[in-house]
Structure 1
Amino acid sequence: MPKIVSIHSFRPGTGKSQLTANIATILAAAGQRVAIIDSDVHSPSIQWLFGLPEGAITHSLNDFLWGKCGIESTAVNLNPTVRHPLKGQVYLVPFATRNSTIDYDISLLSDSFELLINTLRLDVLLIDTQPGVQFAALPSIAFSDIQVLVLQLREQDLQGTGVVIDISEQLGISEMVLIVNQIPEHYNLREVQQKIEQIYQRPVLAALPYDELLADYNQASLLLERTSSNIFVVEHPDHPISLLLTNVAATLTA
């Protein structure tokens, strides 16, 4: 049964897009067919992480919603950009909004997700959402089977994540899980996981430590010549964070 998974955060800068790209690659390497919808319109970075060159994207999901192209025209094949043979398939579908407004029938968005799944024969559709609780971010969340909330140990995140959970419950999302990212090294990861689960009464799939190597990858995504991918789990498959993300991917698709 195909799954729609939204990966969301209350604020930008939590590492949400980096996690999305790596989870998608793990799934594709394992033989699954995956598409990423990059709806983080203020800071889209998936294409840079995968080294997709300028001009490779000609259509967005909005073009389909506005009747300008077929759904298959919105999907870009990312396999050629990954420096690792993938048993499955990974696509990128950009999703742009105009001045953060939605000027199409929102019900069409749900239909487009289903059409993408059927047309591309997807196992998983990942949505890298626009951070926050603005109206533009809510439809993608509402149509998800699972919501992954990414947070760091910052006061803004700790307060905002509770707000996101309340709104998601109102939208009817019953399956919500958490990832705590970039935890400072002086924290005990197990204690952090238990404390966050206690606060939000939601499972924490991973408590990820801050790692300078992964931080360098985040920075490199801004500096790439955009000719090859910059996916952490491809270059460092045996790194502890890669192994934790592999467990996350397996849990999300179980």
Structure 2
Amino acid sequence: MTQIIAVHSFRGGTGKSNLTANLAATMACRGQRVGIIDTDIQSPGIHVLFGLNEEKINHSLNDYLWGRCNIKDTAYDVSHTLIAESGETGVVKGNLYLIPSSIKAGEIARVLREGYDVVRLNDGFQELIRCLKLDYLFIDTHPGLNEETLLSIGISHVLVVILRPDSQDFQGTAVTVDVARKLKVPKMLLVVNKALPAFDFTDLQKQVEKTYNISVAGILPLSEEMVQLGSKGIFCLRYSKHPISKTMKGITEQIAGLVISH
């Protein structure tokens, strides 16, 4: 059974797309067939991490939502990117497909002006799972809560919520968690990102888990290497021995374990 993993944050700038890309890439390297769909249609960007520029995108999620093409026409096999990023052909045992949203200003403006059919989006999720024979579908959601994010959260088997150690993030995450519980999401995990290395990570984990009564899957430190990379690649493949990469691997193992036990 295909597992749907929604990755969400209440506010922008948390590192949600980077987390999604790295978790999905790690899953693919484990031998899984993985899809990523960028439903952050108002501010898309995950395609940048895979080197998929505008000229290479013939069809996007927007085209499917407005009836211009089939959903399978929007899926790009980016498995080769993982090989290039890691520099080792033997590392990638699975497949990774990316469904990008359009970066064109006119397309984004149309979404803001007219919206789109959320039921058709859900149909697209199911068709992707079927035609690509996916083991996992990762949904990179739009920050905050809207009709699309409620759908993505509601159909997910595991919801991964990413937040920074910041008072605004803490408050917004409480709203997300409350909504997810009302939607009866089977499993939730928290990931704390951009934590100063000087923090006591054990105390921080206890504080966050006590606040939300949810397990913290990992705490990612604010990293100079991550900042220098600037979303120009997949961090866990470029820096496979880095503590962040090891934490990312641990998060994917927890996701896989939750799915097996569900």
User: TM-score scaled by structure 1?
Assistant: 0.90
Partner of 1:160: 172
How far has the Cα of 1:146 moved from its partner?
1.1
Secondary structure, aligned partner of 2:153: helix
Q: Do residues 252 (structure 1) and 255 (structure 2) align? A: yes
Q: Do residues 122 (structure 1) and 125 (structure 2) align? A: no
> Superposed, which structure 2 residues align to 1:77-156 within 5 Å?
77-82=77-82, 83=84, 84=86, 85=89, 86-95=92-101, 98-99=111-112, 102-104=115-117, 106-156=118-168
Secondary structure, aligned partner of 2:44: coil
> Superposed, which structure 2 residues align to 1:154-193 within 5 Å?
154-193=166-205
How far has the Cα of 1:100 moved from its partner?
6.9
Secondary structure, aligned partner of 2:54: coil
Counterpart of 1:135, as a letter, is: E
Partner of 2:105: none
Deviations 1:15-56 (CA, angstroms, capped at 9, x unpaired): 111111111111111111111111122332211111113221
How far has the Cα of 1:177 moved from its partner?
1.0
Contact 1:28–1:89 (CA under 8 A) maintained in structure 2: yes
How far has the Cα of 1:129 moved from its partner?
0.5
Secondary structure, aligned partner of 2:112: coil
| Separation of aligned partners in 2, 1:100 and 1:41 | 12
| Separation of aligned partners in 2, 1:165 and 1:237 | 31
Counterpart of 1:46, as a letter, is: I
| Separation of aligned partners in 1, 2:162 and 2:256 | 18
Distance 1:146 1:152, change over 3 A: same
Distance 1:214 1:90, change over 3 A: same
Contact 2:65–2:116 (CA under 8 A) maintained in structure 1: no
Deviations 1:51-92 (CA, angstroms, capped at 9, x unpaired): 113221122234334432222101011122231332111111
| Separation of aligned partners in 2, 1:28 and 1:14 | 23
> Superposed, which structure 2 residues align to 1:45-64 within 5 Å?
45-64=45-64
Partner of 1:227: none
Aligned residue pairs: how many? 244
Which is further off, 57-66 or 201-210?
57-66
Contact 1:3–1:253 (CA under 8 A) maintained in structure 2: no
User: TM-score scaled by structure 2?
Assistant: 0.87
How far has the Cα of 1:101 moved from its partner?
5.2
Which segments of 5 or more consecutive residues in structure 2 lack a partner in the other structure? Answer: 103-107, 258-262
| Separation of aligned partners in 2, 1:252 and 1:34 | 13
Contact 2:6–2:138 (CA under 8 A) maintained in structure 1: yes
Partner of 2:260: none
Deviations 1:190-216 (CA, angstroms, capped at 9, x unpaired): 111111001000010001111111122
| Separation of aligned partners in 2, 1:170 and 1:66 | 31
Secondary structure, aligned partner of 1:253: helix
Partner of 1:237: 240
| Separation of aligned partners in 1, 2:65 and 2:155 | 16
Query: Larger helix proportion, structure 1 or 2?
Result: 2
How far has the Cα of 1:145 moved from its partner?
1.2
Distance 1:100 1:125, change over 3 A: farther
| Separation of aligned partners in 2, 1:100 and 1:88 | 39
Counterpart of 1:168, as a letter, is: A
Contact 1:28–1:87 (CA under 8 A) maintained in structure 2: yes
The runs of at least 4 aligned residues of structure 1 exceeding 4 Å deviation read: none
Identity percentage of aligned residues: 40
How far has the Cα of 1:95 moved from its partner?
4.0
Counterpart of 1:27, as a letter, is: M
